């Protein structure tokens, strides 16, 4: 781009054309910003013509999950309760990518308020998996994963509270990264569970994901949980390999997974071993407690965060005889079933008399999990396991059974509870020919090593 070999307008048009040909079937977007993207692309081309450096990602189209605030643009979290709301400010990640020259082409579909694992909980209808449109793309960032998988955009951003970047990345055969908690600013990310939420990239390759993470990472004074750490150097280390790295093949991230999944992850371990890593079989039994702790902590935080949608401050209002009745009518009409379920679960877990038995106990279990990870990372540098127990399931398969839907996150949730980074990198296909994701996990701020190992797996995936 900066050398003038390709124009931003041409890239924007290519992305829009691909969206035009695929979107009818895939439904990755809730809003496409056609005019804005062409205007921005023209401004970048003008800058390049004047010899200006327009940023490291100048002219690269990107799809933005619809829970990230973009000034003046639709930001609905795929919920009716936010319909018509347009944020008066940009999320920090949005300002950072725009400074880097990225072209935001639109907002992507998701499970309402990021609660779900299939993007079927969207108020605007489901997104389909580009590899097989009878299958889900995963969730909650299903639209962002599908946009990249269908070559609509080379990059997208999502959020991961319990697996919502890694799980859809695995189902759609793309790279997805959940950074260390606090590495990427949450300012302008609509809050679901604030102690777990983290923004991260989707991309078609490890190198592209690294380039995007370098742009969005780094301290932000507007987020009180932002780490005082610089963005990690990732791109310059992608070829450093895994020689001497100790990688724990984690029993609990394989147990209960489908046989084709287990076989693929064992092949991934072999690829790392052939590249010089030491593979150590490891068991961390505490990880099995992750799901139950998460489904108390995340709904508890959500019930508090979602209290702000009261018919007064945002989006829709359903009028009634007094304020309390108006609040009730608005929330009854505005929220979908899963969001209501989480609010009720969370409110119950926090209520007087139950607080210590549920929320308090879940927090103690969270500490156990953190301690277990810390102990594991004294004997291994990284962990390897499956991202998901199976490949993508069929649309409609789990909508009537929330517990089985929740179980699709069994391998991804423990990382969020610990605040650690993890990523999913495509590694072969299952018996059904659908993509498989290998998950790499590491201690806080180990992104550089995770990307080195992911790069080895990416090159070895077809060997
Ligand atoms: N699927 C999980 C949930 O429903 C995780 C969602 C997420 O990471 N946002 O809560």
What pLDDT digit, counting tens, does each position of 239-282 carry? 999 999 999 999 999 999 999 999 999 999 999 999 999 999 99
- What does the angle CA 398 – CA 140 – CA 293 come to, to the nearest 5 degrees? 80
Q: End-to-end alpha-carbon separation of the chain, Å?
A: 33
pLDDT tops 90 at residue 214: yes
What confidence category does residue 229 fall into, taking pLDDT thresholds of 50, 70 and 90?
Answer: confident
What confidence category does residue 230 fall into, taking pLDDT thresholds of 50, 70 and 90?
Answer: confident
Ligand 1, atom nearest to 298 Cα: 10
Residue 429 class from Cβ within 10 Å (0-12 exposed, 13-18 middle, 19+ buried)? middle
Give the integer Cα–Cα distance in Å for 279 and 230.
Answer: 30
pLDDT tops 90 at residue 461: no
Q: What is the pLDDT of residues 415-428, one digit of tens each?
A: 999 999 999 999 99
Give the pLDDT of residue 4. Answer: 80
Distances (CA, A) of 116 to 42, 266, 401, 463: 38, 28, 12, 34
Q: Do 113 and 134 form a contact (C-beta atoms < 8 A)?
A: no
Average pLDDT, the chain: 97
CA–centroid distance, 403 to ligand 1, in Å, is 13
Long-range contacts of 38-46 (CB under 8 A, 24+ apart): 38/9, 38/12, 38/13, 40/8, 40/12, 40/103, 40/104, 41/7, 41/8, 41/9, 41/11, 41/12, 41/103, 42/8, 42/9, 44/1, 44/8, 44/101, 44/103, 45/7, 45/8, 45/9
pLDDT tops 80 at residue 182: yes
What confidence category does residue 463 fall into, taking pLDDT thresholds of 50, 70 and 90?
Answer: low
What confidence category does residue 107 fall into, taking pLDDT thresholds of 50, 70 and 90?
Answer: very high
Ligand 1, atom nearest to 117 Cα: 1
Q: Please tell me the residue having the least CA distance from ligand 1 atom 5.
A: 162
Q: What is the pLDDT of residues 17-43, one digit of tens each?
A: 999 999 999 999 999 999 999 999 999
Top mutation candidate among 409, 410, 414, 424 for ligand 1, by most atoms within 8 Å of CB: 409
Top mutation candidate among 166, 298, 411 for ligand 1, by most atoms within 8 Å of CB: 298
Give the integer Cα–Cα distance in Å for 388 and 163.
Answer: 9
Give the integer Cα–Cα distance in Å for 124 and 8.
Answer: 31
- Residues annotated as catalytic (active site), given as ranges: 65, 140, 164
CA–centroid distance, 356 to ligand 1, in Å, is 24
- What does the angle CA 198 – CA 146 – CA 255 come to, to the nearest 5 degrees? 65
Give the pLDDT of residue 2. Answer: 74
Q: What is the pLDDT of residues 362-408, one digit of tens each?
A: 999 999 999 999 999 999 999 999 999 999 999 999 999 999 999 99
Give the pLDDT of residue 1. Answer: 80
CB crowding 378-391: b at 16 or more within 10 Å, else e? eebbbbbbbbbbbb
pLDDT tops 80 at residue 196: yes
Top mutation candidate among 68, 78, 109, 111 for ligand 1, by most atoms within 8 Å of CB: 111
Ligand 1, atom nearest to 408 Cα: 1
CA–centroid distance, 60 to ligand 1, in Å, is 28
Distances (CA, A) of 295 to 52, 136, 396, 422: 50, 22, 22, 20
What confidence category does residue 310 fall into, taking pLDDT thresholds of 50, 70 and 90?
Answer: very high
Domains of the chain: 8-237 (3.90.1300.10)
CA–centroid distance, 167 to ligand 1, in Å, is 9
| Alpha helical stretches, state H, 88-140 | 92-99
Q: Give the binding-site residues of ligand 1, using a 6 Å CB cut-off.
A: 114-117, 140, 160-164, 192, 298, 409
Average pLDDT for 136-149: 98
Q: What is the pLDDT of residues 341-357, one digit of tens each?
A: 999 999 999 999 999 99
Ligand 1, atom nearest to 159 Cα: 9
Ligand 1, atom nearest to 163 Cα: 8
Q: For 269, how many CA atoms within 13 A lie in the half-sphere containing its CB?
A: 24
Q: Do 376 and 248 form a contact (C-beta atoms < 8 A)?
A: yes
Distances (CA, A) of 2 to 5, 56, 234, 261, 313: 8, 9, 21, 42, 43
Give the pLDDT of residue 174. Answer: 98
CA–centroid distance, 416 to ligand 1, in Å, is 10
Give the pLDDT of residue 311. Answer: 94
């Amino acid at each position: 781009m900066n050398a003038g070999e390709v124009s931003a307008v041409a890239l924007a048009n290519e992305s829009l054309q691909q969206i035009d040909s695929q979107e009818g079937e895939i439904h990755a977007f809730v809003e496409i910003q056609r005019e804005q993207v062409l205007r921005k692309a023209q401004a970048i081309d003008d800058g390049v013509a004047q010899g200006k450096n327009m940023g490291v990602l100048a002219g690269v189209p990107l799809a933005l999950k619809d829970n990230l605030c973009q000034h003046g643009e639709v930001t609905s979290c795929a919920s009716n309760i936010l319909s018509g709301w347009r944020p008066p400010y940009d999320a920090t990640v949005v300002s950072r990518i725009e400074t880097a020259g990225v072209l935001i082409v639109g907002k992507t579909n998701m499970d309402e308020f990021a609660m779900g694992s299939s993007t079927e909980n969207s108020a605007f209808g489901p997104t389909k998996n580009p590899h097989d449109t009878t299958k889900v793309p995963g969730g909650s960032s299903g639209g962002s994963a599908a946009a990249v998988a269908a070559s609509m955009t080379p990059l997208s951003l999502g959020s991961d509270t319990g697996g919502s970047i890694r799980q859809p990345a695995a189902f759609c055969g793309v790279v997805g990264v959940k950074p260390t908690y606090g590495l990427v600013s949450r300012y302008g990310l609509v809050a679901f569970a604030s102690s777990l939420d983290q923004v991260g990239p989707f991309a078609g390759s490890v190198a592209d994901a690294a380039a995007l993470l370098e742009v969005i990472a780094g301290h932000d004074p507007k987020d009180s949980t932002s780490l005082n750490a610089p963005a990690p150097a990732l791109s310059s280390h992608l070829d450093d390999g895994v020689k001497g790295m100790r990688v724990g093949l984690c029993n609990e991230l394989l147990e209960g997974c489908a046989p084709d999944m287990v076989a693929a992850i064992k092949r991934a371990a072999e690829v790392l071993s052939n590249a010089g890593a030491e593979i150590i079989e490891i068991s961390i039994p505490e990880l099995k407690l992750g799901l139950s702790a998460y489904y108390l902590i995340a709904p508890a935080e959500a019930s508090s965060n979602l209290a702000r949608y009261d018919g007064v401050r945002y989006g829709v209002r359903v009028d009634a005889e007094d304020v309390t009745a108006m609040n009730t009518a608005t929330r009854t009409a505005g929220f979908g079933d899963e969001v209501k379920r989480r609010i009720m679960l969370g409110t119950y877990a926090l209520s007087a008399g139950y607080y210590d038995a549920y929320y308090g106990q879940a927090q103690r279990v969270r500490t156990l999990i953190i301690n277990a990870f810390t102990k594991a990372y004294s004997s291994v540098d990284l962990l390897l396991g499956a991202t998901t127990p199976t490949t993508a399931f069929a649309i409609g398969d789990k909508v009537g059974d929330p517990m089985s839907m929740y179980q699709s996150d069994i391998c991804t949730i423990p990382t969020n509870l610990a605040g650690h980074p993890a990523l999913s990198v495509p590694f072969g296909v299952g018996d059904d020919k659908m993509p498989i994701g290998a998950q790499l996990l590491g201690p806080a701020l180990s992104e550089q090593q995770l990307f080195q190992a992911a790069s080895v797996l990416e090159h070895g995936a077809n060997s």
